[in-house]
Amino acid sequence: MNRAAVTSRLMGLLLLAAGYPSAGFAQDTLQPYQLVRSLQLVQDRIAAGDHAAMPMQAKLLEMIDTRLREAGAEDFKDPKNFRALLVYGMSGGNPVTVEAAVSRAKSVDAQDLSIAKGVINYLVGRPAGAIEVLRPIDPMTLPSDLGAFLALVKGSLMATDDPVMALTLLDEAKLLSPGTLVEEAALRRSVGIAVTRGDAARFARASTQYVERYLYSPYASQFADSFVSGVITLHMSISQDKLADITSMMDPEREKVIYLRIARRAAIDGLSELSAFASARAEQGRDGNTNQGDPRAELYSSLSTVTSGTIEDVRTKLGKIDRSKLSDGDRALLDAAQAIAGEVVAPPASLPGATPASAALAPQPKPEVAIAQPADAAGLPPVEGAVSERPAASPSGGTVAAAPGAPAPSADSAAVLPASAPANSAGPDTTDPTDAAMMKTRRQLDLIDQMLGAAPK
């Protein structure tokens, strides 16, 4: 009998139990391990994309909680029921119920009691205590249903302090419980850890496996967040061909959304090439259905070329974008891009009314340069929901834009001077219109970094 048929029969039995006139029917009829096994089967259907099974999951958790609250020492003499209690706890069960049930259990194996202690620590938010208790226990030596959950929990707990071991444990969880919600969670968490470690190969492999098996899971949005962040973080190590291979396994709508998110993040982080690629793929579509005219793709592709030699074309393209179809954050980006595009083509500001000789010889107090950058930043257009998420590097490979509150660069090391700042004797002769234009352009690049770095992602 296949898994779907077994699940359907169990769900029918549970629905009968839930609707029976006697409130104690389900508790009297079904053992804890039977209820927990039913929960696992329902969760596996959810992981495969059956969102309609989620109400049944909630009902099962309620029934299991009630059954375990009433379970006595006699129930836990059966090792299957105590293991079911542990699995329930590691599935996100009620810590009060788990702790109370463990206290009533007698004649339980010492290792199972240690696992129970670790699970309780995990549930009540004591990760250090949970790791200390669970570290010596090898999930591969346990029954597969219990071992898989233990490997998943240990892998999650150790992700920060020992990511290499965490990935090994998550691999064990996948091995012990393929095709289940445990494998779905293990793959999803592996993606995030691989990004943290800078392991592009592991990131690509885990992402490929997740998209192949669990793209329609209700938890896939969490994978999408990690995937987009990983593409941005590992952009130097992941080829565009590999990225295209992974996204090609998605349905067209999901692929478009992923590329739009990548294009936006890449534009904000100053990754012009990646932003242009992702924008083009979002517009390209699939199966003859293009997404030409999507205002988001047009905006993000324009951001990547806003200081290029085709600035007039970019300004025209920005002017045609339908603002009403953009989010608040994207409208702020559009405003920033239009302001910068206007600044780039504006004529050079008039020079101070000083003679060339006096301008070149005039002393330049260093503090004025140090405070010029904060004054520029304060004059930027307001950006809704501004956060300090500046690009790792400017599009031109120059210096990083200063984070809010960071000390301004000293006069000796400043690479970009405000166009209005008087030149000192060691600097270029700003009375030359060419030099003035070059300095103005460099200043606009710096402003772009600040504007886009302040925009919400």
pTM exceeding 0.85:
no
**Is 411 in contact with 371 (CB distance < 8 Å)?**
no
pLDDT number for residue 336: 72
Q: Which residues of 9-47 are buried (b: 16+ CB within 10 A; e: fewer)?
A: ebbeebeebeeeeeeeebbeebbbbbbbbbbbbbbbbbb
In residues, how long is the chain?
457
Q: What is the pLDDT along the chain (457 residues), one digit of tens a residue?
A: 455 554 555 555 555 444 444 445 454 578 999 999 999 999 999 999 999 999 999 999 999 999 999 999 999 999 999 999 999 999 889 999 999 999 999 888 899 999 999 999 999 999 999 999 999 999 999 999 999 999 999 999 999 999 999 999 999 999 999 999 999 999 999 999 999 999 999 999 999 999 999 999 999 999 999 999 999 999 999 999 999 999 999 998 899 889 988 988 888 888 888 988 998 888 887 766 666 667 776 666 666 555 554 666 666 767 767 777 777 777 877 777 677 666 655 666 555 554 444 444 444 444 433 333 333 333 323 323 323 333 333 333 433 333 333 333 333 333 333 333 333 434 444 445 545 555 554 555 455 555 545 444 4
> Cβ atoms within 10 A of the Cβ of 134, count?
21
Q: How many CA atoms lie within 13 A of 82 on its CB side?
A: 23
pLDDT number for residue 19: 47
**Is 336 in contact with 455 (CB distance < 8 Å)?**
yes
DSSP SS3 for 404: coil
pLDDT number for residue 371: 34
DSSP SS3 for 289: strand
**Is 228 in contact with 262 (CB distance < 8 Å)?**
yes
**Is 98 in contact with 85 (CB distance < 8 Å)?**
yes
Closest-CA residue to 195 (of 169, 165, 223):
223
pLDDT number for residue 339: 74
Q: What is the DSSP string of 331-379?
A: HHHHHHHHHHHHHHHSPPPPPPSS-HHHHHHS---HHHHHHHHHHHHHT
**Is 223 in contact with 188 (CB distance < 8 Å)?**
yes
Q: How many Å separate Cα 223 from the centre of its chain?
A: 7
**Is 431 in contact with 419 (CB distance < 8 Å)?**
no
Query: Rounded to whole angstroms, how far apart are CA atoms 50 and 14?
Result: 18
